[in-house]
Amino acid sequence: MLKVLKAGFYTTIQDTGRFHYRNKGVPVSGVMDEISVFKVNSLLENEESAAVLEITMTGPTLIFEKETYMALGGAKMLATLNNLPVQNYKVYTISKGDILSFGKLQKGFRSYLAVKGGFTSKQVLGSRSFYQPITKYNRLTDNDVVPFAVQEDFQPKIPEIKVASFLDDSVLEVNKAPEFDILTDKQLEEIFSRTFTVAHENNRMAYQLTETIQAHTISMLTSATIPGTVQLTPAGKLIVLMKDGQTTGGYPRAVQLTDRAICILAQKKGGDTISFKLV
């Protein structure tokens, strides 16, 4: 078991997502940065779908109530284990009573904690991912206890990896979305030539961008959206839907982020800048 001593800003349990319920209005949810999570789960030789803790901006203080193995990835948050520095993408042996803490956010926005075998909290509609309309909680709070699998002795094949970080990347590769071809030449030129600032209105549902482009009067039926869909409001604001984003929307879908671009954006916070590149 893992006990939360101090919850931090926004810590949730997430796995690879909740599928086959979008026709009921249920978002995919799941980890925002799949690249980082794949790497930490791979280090621990977990299944790709093993649940992790997603730690946003300010990390928690956690105490392990039984032995396990752990790895961190994603953002750099000056983590310590029993007051000793912890590296990202390295396997650590955990003893009962060990305390994991997080300090100042150095780079990125979301860190991930994986344990051997994954966290084993209750599944709802086939996923452990928090999404409050259908799960009891939307985040962990002080004194919460998170279960994880009991493990026999584990000898990692690869105890540590050097990762080419994308935390400094700012170019988001995109594909054409369904309404791409009805946008004006000026709107498209502005999307691909400008640098945009991530607004402080950003969360697991959507990222808003501060700068606007040419307004529009396009009228359309509500249509399907998925994580990474970039919508254009009538006022010219761009909104990027993320993992907890709604399943339909009535704004034109201008472009669609690639999977890698979603991970890059998930590591951005308010005030960071990005640009788009059509692939």
Residue 6 pLDDT greater than 90, yes or no: yes
Helices (H) and strands (E) in the chain, counts: 3, 20
Whether residues 33 and 77 share a domain: the answer is yes
The pair of three-digit structure tokens given for residue 132, joined into one six-digit string: 């409050």
* One domain for residues 67 and 188: no
33 and 133 together in one domain: yes
- Per DSSP, the residues of 192-261 read HHS-EEEEEEESSSEEEEEEE----------EE--TTEEEE-TTSEEEEE-TT--SEESS-EEEEE-HHH
Q: Could you tell me if residue 268 is inside a domain?
A: yes
208 & 125 share domain? no
Asked if 112 and 42 sit in the same domain, the reply is yes
Domain check: are 117 and 13 in the same one? Answer: yes
Are 140 and 229 found together in one domain? no
Tell me whether residue 47 is in a domain.
yes
The residues near 15 (Cβ < 8 Å, ≥ 6 apart) are 30, 31, 49, 50, 51, 52, 118, 127, 128, 129
* pLDDT per residue as tens digits for the range 146-197: 999 877 788 899 999 998 889 999 999 999 999 999 999 999 999 999 999 9
Answer whether residue 153 is part of any domain.
no
* Rounded CA separation 86/89 (Å): 9
Q: What is the mean pLDDT of residues 216-240?
A: 95
In the chain, the percentage of residues whose pLDDT exceeds 90 is 93
Helix (H, G, I), strand (E, B) or coil at 111: strand
Backbone angles phi, psi at 94, to 5 degrees: -110, 130
Q: Are residues 49 and 133 in the same domain?
A: yes
Residue 165 falls inside a structural domain: no
179 shares a domain with 81: no
Q: Which of 113, 146, 179 marks a domain boundary?
A: 146
Q: Is residue 155 part of a domain?
A: no
pLDDT of residue 149: 87
What average pLDDT does this structure show over 231-244? 97
pLDDT at 185: 96
Q: Are 17 and 228 in contact (CB under 8 A)?
A: no
What value does the mean pLDDT take over residues 6-20?
96
Q: Using one digit for the tens of pLDDT, what is the confidence trace for 77-95?
A: 999 999 999 999 999 999 9
User: What is the reported pLDDT for 247?
Assistant: 95
Do 36 and 127 have their domain in common?
A: yes
Please give the share of the chain, as a percent, with pLDDT higher than 70.
Answer: 100
Two tokens at 203?
A: 């969360």
Per-chain mean pLDDT for the chain: 95
Residue range(s) defining the domain that contains residue 6 = 2-146
CB 7, CB 139: distance < 8 Å? yes
Q: What is the pLDDT of residue 164?
A: 84
CA angle 7, 9, 15 (to 5 degrees): 75
Look at the chain and report how many structural domains it folds into.
2
Average pLDDT over residues 103-110: 96
Q: Which CATH number does the domain housing residue 192 bear?
A: 2.40.100.10
Nearest Cα neighbor of 250 from 211, 216, 213, 220 is 220
